[in-house]
Amino acid sequence: MLSSATAKTVWARKLRAIDGWFSPVLLLPGAALLMLLVYAATRTTYWNVDLHGAQYKLAVASSPTAQQKGLGSRTRLAATEGMVFVFPNADKRCFWMKDMHFSLDILWADGAHKVVRIEHNVSPATYPKDFCASNAMYVFELPSGTTDRQHIHVGDQLKF
């Protein structure tokens, strides 16, 4: 029979031996989980939105980082593309044209998807002017001229 001190030493040696190969085995799933979380956080999601009969593919900006960046890094926007900013509640929402390279129509909608304000053909030259609307839960940035072409007006109900 081993003394308790010897038994503890034997156990400690076995634990160190296990630890030698066990740590890398634990690191692999941990690293994979971290990569998955980073991918999920940076992956762009899209909404397909019907704007009075025309289909638009809108990048969703729901995180503060995505909302701050917006479309500012883009050099162009296809005729049926845009971005929708999704907020947790209806409140006053202000937008500007910082780092933009093209004009936009900006459309604000409340929690019931009703249009509460539209700014047409907002030019990058307007920066640093703010464009704001009260009671907005969603803000759409669309190619300039979209709201006129699709006959979208304040008070319209959007389907998304």
C-alpha span between 96 and 158 (Å, rounded): 23
C-alpha span between 35 and 122 (Å, rounded): 38
Instruction: Please tell me the pTM assigned to this model.
Output: 0.73
Write down the pLDDT at residue 106.
Answer: 98
Q: What angle do CA 53, 58, 60 make, to 5 degrees?
A: 140
Which class in CATH covers the domain with range 46-149?
mainly beta
Write down the pLDDT at residue 2.
Answer: 53
| 11-70: pLDDT as tens digits | 656 656 555 555 555 555 555 555 544 444 456 899 999 999 999 999 999 999 999 999
